[in-house]
């Protein structure tokens, strides 16, 4: 090897005089091993990129082929799904997906917010630790477990609540249930089963842990100094939460909610187990009959011939686009809130 100098060299420090604002360039030279390492990891990156782009491109090209057959506008506005007679569109399923996700979000968001505030602000000591791990664990529970619970426990019990809402609030069109005689003394629960509402509730339970986990994370980072400042100024706990924790965790709240929304839009099995699929545009969320893009794919894929498969891929691709936009927004918001947190901390 080359010579090894016995004494320590103190490098010259030209940067002391240089313009500090200007980042200096970094020059590396690599050995053969390093080049191999870089090449291999680069290949890994390329493979992943190709695979991922392949998935996207395959879905998109197949989908576009199906959409071209009927035209984009018709694809977006048709409620029926009959690819064999060229009469198909995602109006109904898209609306159903959004409705289920909306119900899920409306239920999950306040619950997640309350729970994460409970974990960070009210619970203390060991309880806080246990609850945090429990929430993280629950985020890993497979969706089929929630689906089973929804179909076999929630549905038989929630129908009475659905009926109660429809009886007392049926004058609001959203809660209207057709084909039910409220005066009948018979307990006919069928009109209230398999509804958007029930599917939404199950999905809500699935996304609560994810949302809670993200919100808890962001609330926890609210600086202790500011909290104490608020208390010192005479704020109650709620006053402190309102003025310190919530503004600080805003990014986490929005980001977590959006991430939950992304999950809710793509959820399949829980909805598949519960709904009675319909292909019509409807707004009565308590009434039986619902649909979502994901559930439709799971129900229809096996009997679809080549063209119907393309149509399904068009629907799947539009769902993918939707979840992608939601997820990107979410991660952008979370990332932004994080960087903000760092600078303040």
Partner 1 sequence: MTRSARIAGIVAALCLIFAGLAPAQAANYIRIGGSGSSWAGNALQDWVSRVGAQGVTVDYESKGSSTGRKEFADSMKQFAVSEIPYTGDTADPKDNSRPNFKYGMLPVVAGGTAYMYNLRAGSGRLDTLKLSQKAIAKIFTGQVTKWNDKVITADNPGVALPDATINVVVRSDGSGATAQFTLWLLRQFPSDYAKLCQVTGCDPNSATSFFPTKGLKNFVAQNGSQGVTTYTANNLYTINYDEYSYARGINFPVAQVKNAAGFYTLPTEHAVAVALTQARINQNPKSENYLSQDLSKVYGYLDPRSYPMSAYSYMIVPTEKTDALNEAQGATLGYFANYALCEGQRSMGQLGYSPLPMNLVLAAMDQLRKVPGVDKATRAKMDQTAASVSKGGTPACNNPTFKPGDSPALNQLVRSAPFDAACAAACRAPWTGEGAAENQGPGSTGANKGNKAAGAKPAVKQPTATAQAGPAGAAGNGGGAAGAGQAPAAGTVGTTSGGTAGCDADTGACADGAVVAAAGTGTQLLTPVSTTIAGSNGWGQTQLLLVVVGGLLLLLVLAPPLLARELEKRRAGRRNSA
Partner 2 sequence: MTVLEYHDAASGPVAADAPRTFLPQQDRDPAPAEQARIRPGASANAKLAVAGAAAAGLSMGLLLTAGIGLIPPGWTLIVSYLWFVLIYSTLVFMREQFSAVRDRFVTVLMVSAGVTVLGTLALVIGFVFTRGQEPLAYWNFFSQDMTGVGPLSGLDQGGILHALVGTLQQIGIALAITLPLGLTTAIYLNEVGGRFAKVVRTVVEAMTALPSVVAGLFIYASVVMVITHQTNGFAAALAITVLMLPIMIRSADVVLRLVPGNLREAGLALGAGQWAVVWHVVLPTVRSGLATAVILATAHGIGETAPVLLTSGFTGVMNFNPFYGPQTPLPLAALELVRSPVPQMVARGFATAAFLLFVVLVLFILARWVGGQEAGKATDAQLRRMAARSRRDLPRIEKNYHDFNYQQEKE
For 60, the token pair is 């998109």
The correct pick among 67, 93, 101, 113 for binding partner 2 (CB under 8 A) is 113
Q: How far does CA 182 lie from the centroid of its chain? A: 37
Q: Does 44 bind partner 2 (CB under 8 A)?
A: yes
Q: Which one among 77, 86, 133, 339 touches partner 2, defined by CB under 8 A?
A: 133
Nearest approach, Cβ of residue 87 and partner 2 (Å): 21
Q: Any contact of residue 77 with partner 1 (CB under 8 A)?
A: no
Task: Assess contact for 198 and 150: CB atoms under 8 A.
Answer: yes
**Distance (Å, whole) CA 235 – CA 225:** 14
Of 62 and 284, the one with the shorter C-beta distance to partner 2 is: 62
Can you tell me the distance from the alpha carbon of 49 to that of 58, in angstroms, rounded to the nearest whole number? 14
Taking CB within 5 to 8 Å according to partner kind, which of partner 2, partner 1, none is near residue 30? partner 2
Q: How far is the CB of 84 from partner 1 (least distance, A)?
A: 5
Confirm if 272 and 146 have CB atoms less than 8 A apart.
no
Sequence-distant (6+) residues with CB within 8 A of 229 are 244
Q: How far is the CB of 280 from partner 2 (least distance, A)?
A: 22
Tell me if 221 contacts partner 1 by CB under 8 A: no
Per CB under 8 A, the segment of 130-138, 190-198, 205-213, 263-271 that binds partner 1 is: 190-198
* Partner whose footprint covers residue 324, from partner 1, partner 2, none (CB < 5 to 8 Å by kind): partner 2
Q: Which long-range contacts (CB under 8 A, 24 or more apart) does 128-133 make?
A: 132/216
Nearer to partner 1, 163 or 227 (CB): 163
Residue 187 in contact with partner 2, rule: CB under 8 A: no
Among 5, 13, 183, 303, binds partner 2 (CB under 8 A): 13
Sites for partner 1 among residues 165-184 (CB under 8 A): 166-168, 170-171, 176-184
344 binds, among partner 1, partner 2, none (CB under 5 to 8 A by kind): none
Q: Does 153 bind partner 1 (CB under 8 A)?
A: no
At how many degrees (to 10) do helices 196-220 and 250-266 cross?
A: 150
Residue 335, CA distances (Å) to 22, 112, 218, 327, 339 in order = 26, 20, 11, 12, 6
Distance CA 79, CA 278 (A): 10
Burial class (CB in 10 A: 0-12, 13-18, 19+), 36: exposed
Site string for partner 2, 268-297 (x = CB under 8 A): xx--xx--------------------x--x
Helix (H, G, I), strand (E, B) or coil at 271: helix
Q: How far is CA 177 from the centre of its chain?
A: 29
Q: Which residues bind partner 1 (CB under 8 A)?
A: 80, 82, 84-85, 156, 159-160, 163-164, 166-168, 170-171, 176-191, 193-194, 272, 276-280, 288-289, 299, 302-305
């Amino acid at each position: 090897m080359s010579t090894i100098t016995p004494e320590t060299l103190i490098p010259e420090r030209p940067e002391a005089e240089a313009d500090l604002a200007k980042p200096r360039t970094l020059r590396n030279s690599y050995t053969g091993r390093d080049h191999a390492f870089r090449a291999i990891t680069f290949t890994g990156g390329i493979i992943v990129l190709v695979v991922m782009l392949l998935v996207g491109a395959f879905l998109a090209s197949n989908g576009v082929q199906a959409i071209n057959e009927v035209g984009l506008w018709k694809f977006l506005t048709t409620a029926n799904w009959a690819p064999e007679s060229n009469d198909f569109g995602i109006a109904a399923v898209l609306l159903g997906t959004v409705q289920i996700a909306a119900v899920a979000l409306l239920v999950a968001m306040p619950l997640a917010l309350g729970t994460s505030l409970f974990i960070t602000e009210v619970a203390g000591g060991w309880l806080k630790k246990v609850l945090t791990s429990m929430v993280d664990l629950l985020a890993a529970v497979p969706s089929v477990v929630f689906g089973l619970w929804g179909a076999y426990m929630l549905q038989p019990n929630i129908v009475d609540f659905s009926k109660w809402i429809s009886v007392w609030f049926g004058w609001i069109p959203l809660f209207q249930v057709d084909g039910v005689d409220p005066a009948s003394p018979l307990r006919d629960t069928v009109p209230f089963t398999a509804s958007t509402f029930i599917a939404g509730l199950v999905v809500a339970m699935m996304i609560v842990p994810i949302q809670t986990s993200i919100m808890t994370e962001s609330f926890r980072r609210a600086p202790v100094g500011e909290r104490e400042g608020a208390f010192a100024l005479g704020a109650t706990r709620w006053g402190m939460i309102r003025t310190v924790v919530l503004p600080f965790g805003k990014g986490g709240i929005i980001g977590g909610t959006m991430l939950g929304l992304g999950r809710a839009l793509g959820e399949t099995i829980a909805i598949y187990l519960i709904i009675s699929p319909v292909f019509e545009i409807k707004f009565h969320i308590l009434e039986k009959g619902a649909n979502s893009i994901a559930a439709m794919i799971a129900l229809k894929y096996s009997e679809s011939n080549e063209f119907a498969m393309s149509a399904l891929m068009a629907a799947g691709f539009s769902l993918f686009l939707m979840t992608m936009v939601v997820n990107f927004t979410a991660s952008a918001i979370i990332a932004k809130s994080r960087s903000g947190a760092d600078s303040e901390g």
